[in-house]
Amino acid sequence: MTEQMTQFWMPYLWGFAASAAGFALLWPLSVLRRDASLVDLWWGPGFAVFAWTAAAMGAMPPGPHGWVALGLVTIWALRMGWTMGRRRMRATEEDPRYAMIRAARGEGWWWKSLFQIFLLQAVIQAVLALPVAVLALATPVVPGALMALGVAVAAAGLALEGTADAQLDRWQLAHPETLCTAGLRAIIRHPNYVGEILFWTGIALIAIEAGALWAPVTPLALVFLLTRVSGKPLVEERLARHPGWAEYAARTPAFVPRFRRPSGPPPRAPG
């Protein structure tokens, strides 16, 4: 292993260890409470801990691209942690996504969840955080137009994701157990996932300017996860139980909005 690789991989592994420790500490609490969805509490903050630990263990302070990426990820992580924390505090039972997995895995879920939920998310987080770690540890370069574009795309993703989550929370407080079809969800089924993809695409653009030409691999991996694995499939399996889901899904695209002139009044909650 060359000295240059060591200067990256050792801080990166320290970041992974710090983040994985957070997941590992939440696991026994989830077993006691029979609530694997506690893992979501660390998904956002874990990224910030990962990135700042890697930066602190680096051989030199971050350059301009690194500081920008650290700032963006910290804002994203704080918003995500706040949102998921509030939802867990309001919840009276395990998130339906994890409840379905618990039922499917059967006996021994208490120990299976350590590997299939908590440590798996630590590994996924390490993959997605790779461009941020690269930016935090890279040799400084002069900022250019691509960094500005990346910041704009990431900020747009933050705004979209934050707005979508806030709208959903307000809807669920006002209309519990009903399908949210208003606000951004009147034109797209998963605006929060689109915001997530935009945010990490922005980070990838910043990383490309810093020399990490492979950085688009991470938002592409996120697209695969959200569209094929743990995002849309699990969420829509649960939403399909709501009255009116089939009609809503037929008229509303999942990820790419299709703007059109409305043919009737805006959607409202039943009752």
In the predicted model, is pLDDT for residue 1 greater than 50?
no
Report the percentage of the chain scoring pLDDT > 90.
82
Residues 118 and 148 in one domain: no
199-207 average pLDDT score: 97
Question: Domain check: are 146 and 171 in the same one?
Answer: yes
Residues 25 and 102 in one domain: yes
When pLDDT is averaged across residues 139-148 and rounded to a whole number, the result is 95
Q: Note whether residue 263 is domain-resident.
A: no
Provide the pLDDT for residue 150.
98
35: left (phi over 0), alpha (psi -120 to 50) or beta: beta
Note whether 148 and 55 are same-domain residues. no
In a shared domain, residues 159 and 238: yes
Tell me, yes or no, whether 266 lies in a domain. no
Choosing from 118, 140, 162, the residue where a domain stops is 140
Residue that is last in its domain, among 140, 161, 193:
140
Provide the residue range defining the domain that includes 97.
Answer: 1-140
Tell me whether residue 271 is in a domain.
no
Choose among 48, 51, 197: nearest CA to 131.
51
The count of structural domains within the chain is 2
Q: Are residues 159 and 83 in the same domain?
A: no
At which of 94, 118, 140 does a domain end?
A: 140
Question: Using CA atoms, how far apart are residues 79 and 160, in angstroms rounded to an integer?
Answer: 12
Give the whole-angstrom CA distance, residue 117 versus residue 160: 27
Q: Is the pTM of this model over 0.85?
A: yes
Q: Is the pLDDT of residue 266 over 60?
A: no
Instruction: Determine the Cα–Cα distance for residues 62 and 68; give it in Å rounded to an integer.
Output: 9
Give per-residue pLDDT as tens, 87-104. Answer: 999 888 999 889 989 999
Instruction: Tell me the pLDDT of the chain averaged across its residues.
Output: 91
8 A C-beta contact, residue 202 and residue 71 = no
Instruction: Please give the pLDDT value at position 181.
Output: 94
24-63 per-position pLDDT tens digit? 999 999 999 999 999 999 999 999 999 999 999 998 899 9
Could you tell me which of 114, 79, 95, 116 has the C-alpha nearest to residue 235? Answer: 95
In whole angstroms, what is the distance from residue 229 CA to residue 223 CA?
A: 10
Q: Does residue 146 share a domain with residue 98?
A: no
